[in-house]
């Protein structure tokens, strides 16, 4: 802005604030800190923060703030120029045991043993695609940070580390080309998912039968794992306190809920066809949100009555945040039953879920994400939030802002009619074929 | 961890951070005499990290000679209770620096969004800004 300023940050975000200021060109920015948390404190409690010390320096907070605005700048604070950033040499040489330890200790892994990305193995991985190893294919950031760039070769290194086969490589390049990291800096502990469609599911022996979301096939296991390792290495994500702030964390980050759709047993169009691709095309679609819950716990799921899966799903979704989307993960038995109930397309099911999953305005306004993300939009006139915030508290509104918040995918082994549901939003679908 | 050590983790060159060492340089030496010869075979493995952008240093704006008689903007970025904290800060200024004009503003949009009109207003009408975030 060109005028003196002081950012005020709670102490929990000390490392994040200092590092982000550095990445953005002001490494010595005069940041002042308050105790943590601020949220949920009364005005009187926060007055104690203001009158008290900066918990990092121990000096009176408001004196630091005033000093931050008035003490003349040092020579370092006036510096200009370009500072190069190094991530070390292109290769490392040592014994296998020491390299394993080195990669683990430097945050290159998911803290499980890796396959060492030797030149030989990386070269083999590169043969899985026709793209040049030095082609720069994307930019990735794990949040509001300056993004990093990366080449086909750098993607290959992470793919080897995760245990992928060379024939999996086009899927990883497709994911990398989106720039979407599977580790995100938010305190919310986000989870990520991918849907795989097309003939490649069989060619690579993805599991979309019994235990489709479990650890029962190499493609499902390692491709999902590779997304997280790529996010750490290509986008510098997953550094606790710096590029990762998830308070509790999310176990799904280990391999990111890989869903190969059971297109053959589904009564509906495959997901990628809904997105405009041809059935014979190979496509990966990415999702982001909070997690997955089982459907057999929902109301209406009694074994003594005919299952009403639409009502079950609606019940599940009513506990979700509408800020993220609602993804139905239907076993084929569930999908077939829904079709028998009249939902002969995914779109019809989505329409019913959108209209019948509701909430009161009072409940809506009381939700964390409504205040953080949608109330500011309401003030700017963005619909439906602008209208929703003007309604009386007892008015009934949709739980999700639009029908497109919902998505449906079919997978599973038909051992029982149990759906699952993810509080996840659709991001993008990209061709795998163009990376072969 | 102090600021200099933290910033060294960015891998910034010593031009800015004299004496800082990047941690990820080379693996530590093998443990001598504790592993079999086959296990001492040497491997060359790729550095899997992507390429970070260079950092363009931004000089900080000149400081005020004092805050007396100045206009200070308190900017709430929209995190939970950040505004409540700033209102307490406004009370503090009113008591301790009664000649300071304090202007409270909530930034438009969610905390992730930019607000150029507000920055323009602050630059035109203010002498300094304090931006507070939450959690």
A54 and A200 co-located in one domain = no
**Which pTM was predicted?**
0.91
- Residue A427 above 50 pLDDT? yes
Q: Where are the domains of chain B?
A: 71-132
- Read off the tokens for B83: 């505004």
Contact flag A376-B128 (C-beta cutoff 8 Å) = no
For residue A408, is it left (φ>0), alpha (ψ between -120 and 50) or beta? beta
Q: Is residue A125 part of a domain?
A: yes
How close A88 gets to chain B, by Cα (Å)? 5
Q: Check the CA dihedral A21-A155-A258-A102 and report its sign.
A: negative
A280 and A154 co-located in one domain = yes
B56 touches chain A (CB under 8 A): yes
Q: Alpha carbon B14 to chain centroid distance? A: 19
What was the pLDDT predicted at B109? 86
Among A423, A395, A393, smallest CA distance to A407 is for A423
A72 and A106 co-located in one domain = no
- Read off the tokens for A148: 């990093």
- Read off the tokens for A94: 């040592």
What was the pLDDT predicted at B4? 65
pLDDT tens-digit readout, B81-132: 899 999 999 999 999 999 999 999 999 888 888 899 999 999 999 999 999 9
A73 and A184 co-located in one domain = no
Q: Is residue A351 part of a domain?
A: no
What was the pLDDT predicted at A22? 93
Q: Is residue A173 part of a domain?
A: yes
- Read off the tokens for A420: 């699952």
Alpha-carbon distance of A50 to A39, in angstroms, equals: 15
Contact flag A82-B56 (C-beta cutoff 8 Å) = yes
A 218-257 residues with CB < 8 A to B: 229, 233-236, 242
pLDDT tens-digit readout, A221-231: 999 999 999 99
Contact flag A24-B55 (C-beta cutoff 8 Å) = yes
Chain B residue whose CA is closest to A97: B39
Q: Is residue A310 part of a domain?
A: no
How close B94 gets to chain A, by Cα (Å)? 13
- Residue B74 above 50 pLDDT? yes
A57 and A181 co-located in one domain = no
Sorting pLDDT into bands at 50, 70 and 90, what band is A299?
A: confident
Q: Is residue A245 part of a domain?
A: yes
Q: Alpha carbon B125 to chain centroid distance? A: 25
Give the best residue of A31, A85, A150 to mutate against chain B (max B CB count within 10 A): A85
B114-119 CB contacts, 8 Å cutoff, 24+ apart: B118/B75, B119/A1
A191 and A150 co-located in one domain = yes
pLDDT tens-digit readout, B2-30: 776 666 666 665 444 433 333 455 665 54
A200 and A243 co-located in one domain = yes
A 274-333 residues with CB < 8 A to B: none
B 108-127 residues with CB < 8 A to A: 108-113, 119, 122-123, 126-127
Among A19, A39, A323, smallest CA distance to A142 is for A19
Among A228, A230, A285, smallest CA distance to A254 is for A228
* CA-based radius of gyration for chain B: 24
A32 and A107 co-located in one domain = no
A133 and A74 co-located in one domain = no
- Read off the tokens for A52: 């008290």
Contacts with A270 (C-beta within 8 Å, 6 or more apart), sequence order: A197, A261, A263, A279
Mean pLDDT in chain A? 95
CB atoms < 10 A from the CB of A421, how many?
Answer: 24
A178 close to A427: Cβ distance less than 8 angstroms: yes
What's the 3-state SS for B90-110? HHHHHHHCCCCEEEEEECCCC
Chain A residue whose CA is closest to B88: A47
A49 and A184 co-located in one domain = no
Contact flag B16-A149 (C-beta cutoff 8 Å) = no
On the 0-12 / 13-18 / 19+ scale of CB atoms within 10 A, A72 is: exposed
For residue A185, is it left (φ>0), alpha (ψ between -120 and 50) or beta? alpha
Coil, strand or helix at A4: coil
How many domains is chain A built from? 2
Alpha-carbon distance of A154 to A157, in angstroms, equals: 5
What was the pLDDT predicted at A144? 81
pLDDT tens-digit readout, A370-404: 888 899 899 989 999 999 999 999 999 999 999 99
- Residue A61 above 50 pLDDT? yes
pLDDT (mean) for A327-343: 96
Q: Is residue A354 part of a domain?
A: no
A381 touches chain B (CB under 8 A): no
Q: Which domain, by its residues, includes A110? A: 102-294+425-435
The conformation of residue A298, written as its DSSP 8-state character, comes to: S
A20 and A131 co-located in one domain = no
pLDDT tens-digit readout, A6-58: 999 999 999 999 999 999 999 999 999 999 999 989 999 999 999 999 999 99
Q: In chain B, pLDDT over 90 holds for what percent of residues?
A: 58
Q: Is residue A383 part of a domain?
A: no
Q: Which residue from B9, B80, B113 is facing A39, i.e. has the nearest CB?
A: B80
A172 close to A163: Cβ distance less than 8 angstroms: no
CA trace torsion B44, B49, B51, B54 (10° rounding): -110
What was the pLDDT predicted at A373? 87
Alpha-carbon distance of A189 to A192, in angstroms, equals: 10
How close B104 gets to chain A, by Cα (Å)? 14
What was the pLDDT predicted at B30? 45
A143 touches chain B (CB under 8 A): no
The conformation of residue A15, written as its DSSP 8-state character, comes to: H
Q: Alpha carbon A368 to chain centroid distance? A: 18
What was the pLDDT predicted at B19? 33
A131 and A279 co-located in one domain = yes
What was the pLDDT predicted at B17? 45
How is A57-126 classified by DSSP, letter by letter?
T-SBHHHHHHHHHHSPPPTGGG--EEE-B----SEEEEEHHHHHHHHHHTT-S-SS-----BHHHHHHHH
């Amino acid at each position: 802005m060109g005028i003196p300023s002081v950012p005020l940050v709670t102490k929990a975000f000390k490392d994040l604030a200092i590092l982000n200021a550095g990445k953005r060109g002001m490494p010595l920015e005069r940041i002042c800190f308050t105790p943590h948390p601020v949220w949920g404190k009364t005005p009187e409690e926060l007055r104690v923060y203001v009158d008290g010390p900066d918990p990092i320096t121990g000096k009176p907070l408001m004196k630091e703030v005033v000093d931050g605005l008035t003490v003349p700048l040092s020579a370092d604070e006036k510096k200009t120029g370009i500072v190069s950033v190094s991530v070390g040499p292109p290769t490392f040489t040592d014994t296998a045991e020491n390299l394993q330890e080195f990669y683990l200790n430097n945050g290159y892994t998911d803290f499980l043993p890796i396959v060492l990305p030797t030149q030989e193995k990386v070269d083999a991985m590169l043969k899985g695609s026709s793209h040049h190893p030095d082609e720069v294919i994307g930019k990735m950031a794990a949040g509001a940070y300056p993004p990093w760039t990366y080449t086909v070769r750098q993607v290959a290194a992470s793919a080897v580390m995760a245990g992928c086969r060379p024939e999996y490589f086009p899927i990883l390049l497709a994911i990398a080309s989106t720039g979407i990291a599977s580790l995100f800096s938010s305190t919310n502990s986000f989870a990520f998912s991918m849907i795989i469609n097309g003939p490649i599911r069989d060619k690579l022996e993805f599991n979309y039968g019994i235990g489709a979301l479990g650890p029962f096939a190499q493609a499902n296991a390692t491709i999902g794992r590779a997304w997280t390792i790529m996010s750490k290495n290509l986008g510098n994500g997953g550094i606790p306190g710096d590029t990762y702030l998830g308070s509790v964390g999310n176990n799904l980050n280990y391999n990111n809920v890989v869903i190969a759709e059971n297109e053959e047993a589904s009564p509906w169009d495959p997901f990628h066809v809904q997105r405009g691709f041809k059935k014979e095309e190979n496509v990966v679609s990415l999702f982001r949100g909070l997690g997955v819950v089982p459907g057999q716990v929902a109301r209406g799921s009694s074994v003594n009555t005919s299952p009403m899966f639409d009502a079950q799903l609606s019940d599940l979704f009513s506990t979700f945040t509408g800020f993220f989307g609602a993804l139905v993960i239907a076993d084929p038995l569930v999908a077939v039953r829904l079709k028998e109930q009249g939902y002969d397309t995914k779109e019809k099911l989505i329409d019913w879920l959108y209209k019948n999953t509701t909430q009161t305005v009072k409940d809506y306004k009381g939700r964390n994400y409504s205040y953080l993300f949608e109330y500011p939009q309401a003030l700017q006139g963005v619909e439906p939030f602008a209208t929703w915030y003007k309604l009386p508290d007892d008015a009934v509104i949709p739980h999700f802002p639009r029908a497109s918040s919902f998505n449906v995918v079919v997978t599973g082994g038909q051992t029982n009619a149990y759906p699952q549901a993810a509080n996840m939003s659709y991001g993008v679908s990209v061709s795998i074929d163009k990376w072969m | 961890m102090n600021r200099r050590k933290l910033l060294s983790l960015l891998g910034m060159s010593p031009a800015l951070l004299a004496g800082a060492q990047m941690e990820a340089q080379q693996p530590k030496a093998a443990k001598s005499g504790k592993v079999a010869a086959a296990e001492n075979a040497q491997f060359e493995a790729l550095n899997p990290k992507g390429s970070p952008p260079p950092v363009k240093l931004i000089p900080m704006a000149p400081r005020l000679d004092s805050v007396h008689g100045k206009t200070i903007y308190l900017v709430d970025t929209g995190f939970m209770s950040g505004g409540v904290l700033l209102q307490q800060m406004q009370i503090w200024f009113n008591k301790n620096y009664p000649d300071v004009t304090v202007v409270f503003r909530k930034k438009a949009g969610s905390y992730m969004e930019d607000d150029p009109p507000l920055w323009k207003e602050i630059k035109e009408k203010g002498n300094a800004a304090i931006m507070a975030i939450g959690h």
